[in-house]
Amino acid sequence: MATEFHNLQELRHSASLANKVFLQRDYSEGTTCRFQTKFPSELESRIERTLFEDTVKTLNNYYAEAEKMGGQSYLEGCLACATAYLIFLCMETRYEKVLKKIGRYIQEQNEKIYAPRGLLITDPIERGMRVIEISIYEDRGSSGSCSGSSSTSGSSAR
């Protein structure tokens, strides 16, 4: 699955990159990780507003879950302190577990919703958790015929 997605990304590079939109952080509730849900005007013709807002809201919920101050995070903190934080050498922190879930969610959203519309979401962790980068690709209609034939011959050979 990871290989396939990586190839999907490489395939994306062959379509021409038209623009990139950057969704900024929303600091209204403090320094916890939250992104603005404002719908960028560049995406108006490419994707439905509700789908986009759903994606961003789900991501915000994931980050809120990761940074939640509650019983579990205090327990993890105190246990780690008691072991002089050596336990982090063998155990994954809750934040890291949620980041993996976020990675999988973004991959799934790209495959199901964004790639068919010529868009690609980059995981915020690759941009320092500062922005959600959405790459907008141009639709190349019928160009690249010789490569197109090699792809169909490849798929028919299977």
Partner 1 sequence: MSAVMITRKVRKWEKLPGKNTFCCDGRVMMARQKGVFYLTVFLIVGTCSLFFAFECPYLATHLSPAIPVFAIVLFLFVMAMLLRTSFSDPGVLPRALPEEATFIEMEIEAANGNVPAGQRPPPRIRNVQINGQIVKLKYCYTCKIFRPPRASHCSICDNCVDRFDHHCPWVGNCVGKRNYRYFYLFTLSLSLLTIYIFTFAIVHVVMRSVDSGFVKTLQDTPGTVLEVLVCFFTLWSVVGLTGFHSYLISLNQTTNEDIKGSWSGKNRLQNPYSHKNIVKNCCEVLCGPAYPSVLDRRGLTQDDVPVPASTTTQSNSVPQTTKTTAPLIPNEHTPDDAKSSIADSAIAHAEKISPSPKEEKPPTPAKVPPLASPETDVEASIIIAKEKAL
> Where do contacts with partner 1 occur on this chain (CB under 8 A)?
3-4, 7-8, 10-15, 20-22, 25, 27-31, 66-69, 73-74, 76-78, 80-81, 84-86, 88, 93-96, 99, 111-112, 115-116, 118, 125-131, 133, 137, 139-144, 146-148, 150-151, 154-155, 157-158
Toward partner 1, which CB reaches closer, 53 or 138? 138
Minimum CB separation of residue 148 from partner 1 in Å reads 7
Reduced to 3 states (helix: H, G, I; strand: E, B; else coil), residue 23 is strand
CA distance 6 to 60: 25
Minimum CB separation of residue 132 from partner 1 in Å reads 11
What DSSP state is assigned to residue 146?
H
What DSSP state is assigned to residue 28?
T
DSSP 17-54: EEEEEEEPB--TT-SS--B--PPPGGGTTTS-HHHHHH
Minimum CB separation of residue 138 from partner 1 in Å reads 9
Minimum CB separation of residue 59 from partner 1 in Å reads 15
Looking at residue 112, its amino acid is: K
Toward partner 1, which CB reaches closer, 37 or 73? 73
Toward partner 1, which CB reaches closer, 42 or 44? 42
* Helix boundaries (H) for 29-143: 49-66, 71-82, 94-109
Nearest to 133, CA basis, from 24, 50, 47, 41: 24
Toward partner 1, which CB reaches closer, 53 or 108? 108
- For residues 106 and 119, the answer to whether their CB atoms sit within 8 Å is no
Minimum CB separation of residue 9 from partner 1 in Å reads 10
Toward partner 1, which CB reaches closer, 43 or 80? 80
- For residues 129 and 33, the answer to whether their CB atoms sit within 8 Å is yes
